[in-house]
């Protein structure tokens, strides 16, 4: 691979390994940002963060079929590799790994991963196949790239906790770093799925973070979690969300509930709600009452 190419696009695992091991022989550390493409400023922030922690940055673009249920948006998930590659190049990424489905899952691939703990409940209740698919593809990508550090967005907080548990349980020698959620000027968490929203839906979507912040403040003033969750759910429906899958206040690390609903340690409020056919998620830190 010509080292003069500022960001080669690599599709095969052996070529990826050759480049990465060449970097390691030269003493470079390697950072990794896994993505499903349709990149936005949030992803580029992850690349930036990886660049602060490692000498070379690999990003992957792979729309992972294993994490979509049959009725979900695998077929319509936005795919725009050329634009993604241009953005990654501009963000200082050193290699784009963009494998085909057959490269990641060759015929005869049968091994699965069944993540427990933080994968249970919340997204796990509404998208039961998702974290098994995420755990499998992340384990494979970390084995393929063998990075020193991998950066994941805090927007998918539950995913970040699942990945932290995965690398711990499987002894994968990569440091997992969470990068704070990037938001638009109205506080809406940046997401590839925001592209599905109409102008009117966008207006409503922008209220999600305010409702969560208000709920967090209510927890800080000592209201019990169940009451705050219920009020926030009502507030989302009133704001115009068509359906609320959950609003939940959980322990920040293992995502278990607080006994008796009283928040007594690091906490996170997490929500998933629908606008028409688009499902949005968001979360933020919650301070325990003082």
Based on the residue annotation, tell me whether 94 is a catalytic residue of this protein: no
Nearer Cβ to ligand PAF (193/223) = 193
Tokens at residue 253, please? 């690390």
Catalytic: which of 40, 43, 71, 94?
43
Binding positions for ligand PAF, rule: CB under 6 A: 34-36, 64, 67, 134, 137-138, 156, 159
- Look at residues 41, 145, 134 and name the one whose alpha carbon lies nearest to residue 91: 41
Q: Which residues pair with 71 in a beta bridge?
A: none
Of the two residues 72 and 231, which places its CB atom closer to ligand PAF in the complex?
Answer: 72
CB of 268 to ligand PAF, least distance (A): 17
Nearer to ligand PAF, 137 or 249 (CB): 137
Q: Are 133 and 66 in contact (CB under 8 A)?
A: yes
Q: How far is the CB of 141 from ligand PAF (least distance, A)?
A: 8
Nearer to ligand PAF, 164 or 233 (CB): 164
Rounded Cα gap, residues 103 and 254, in angstroms: 33
Taking the complex as a whole, the smallest distance from the CB of residue 147 to ligand PAF amounts, in Å, to 13
Residue (158 or 209) nearer to ligand PAF, CB: 158
* Three-state secondary structure readout of 45-98: HHHHHHHHHCCEEEEEECCCHHHCCCCCCCCCCCCCHHHHHHHHHHCCCCEEEC
Chain-centre distance for alpha carbon 151? 9
Contact indicator for 212, 241 with CB cutoff of 8 Å: no
Q: How far is the CB of 265 from ligand PAF (least distance, A)?
A: 26
Q: How many CB atoms lie within 10 A of CB 193?
A: 16
- Smallest gap from residue 156 Cβ to ligand PAF (A): 5
Catalytic residues: 43
């Amino acid at each position: 691979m010509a080292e003069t190419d500022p960001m080669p696009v690599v599709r095969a695992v052996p070529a990826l390994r050759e480049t990465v091991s060449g970097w390691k022989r030269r003493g470079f550390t390697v950072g990794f940002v896994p993505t499903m493409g349709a990149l936005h400023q949030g992803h580029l922030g992850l690349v930036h963060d990886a660049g602060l922690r490692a000498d070379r940055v690999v990003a992957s673009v792979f729309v992972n079929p294993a994490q979509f249920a049959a009725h979900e948006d695998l077929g319509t998930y936005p795919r725009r590799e050329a634009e993604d590659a241009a953005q990654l190049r501009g963000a200082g990424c050193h290699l784009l790994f963009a494998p085909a489905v057959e490269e990641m899952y060759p015929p005869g691939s049968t091994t699965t991963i069944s993540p427990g703990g933080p994968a249970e409940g919340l997204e796990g209740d509404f998208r039961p196949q998702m974290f098994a698919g995420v755990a499998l593809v992340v384990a494979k990508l970390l084995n393929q790239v063998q990075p020193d550090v991998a950066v994941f967005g805090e927007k998918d907080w539950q995913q970040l906790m699942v990945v932290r548990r995965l690398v711990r349980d499987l002894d994968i020698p990569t440091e997992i770093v969470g990068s704070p959620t990037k938001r638009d000027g109205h506080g809406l968490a940046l997401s590839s799925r925001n592209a599905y929203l109409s102008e009117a839906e966008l207006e409503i979507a922008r209220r999600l973070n305010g409702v969560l912040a208000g709920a967090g403040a209510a927890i800080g003033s000592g209201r019990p979690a169940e009451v705050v969750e219920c009020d926030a759910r009502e507030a989302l429906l009133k704001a115009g969300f068509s359906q609320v899958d959950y609003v939940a206040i959980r322990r920040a690390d293992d995502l278990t509930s607080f006994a008796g609903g009283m928040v007594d340690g690091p906490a996170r409020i997490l929500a998933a709600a629908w606008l028409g056919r688009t499902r949005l998620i968001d979360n933020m830190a919650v301070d325990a009452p003082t």
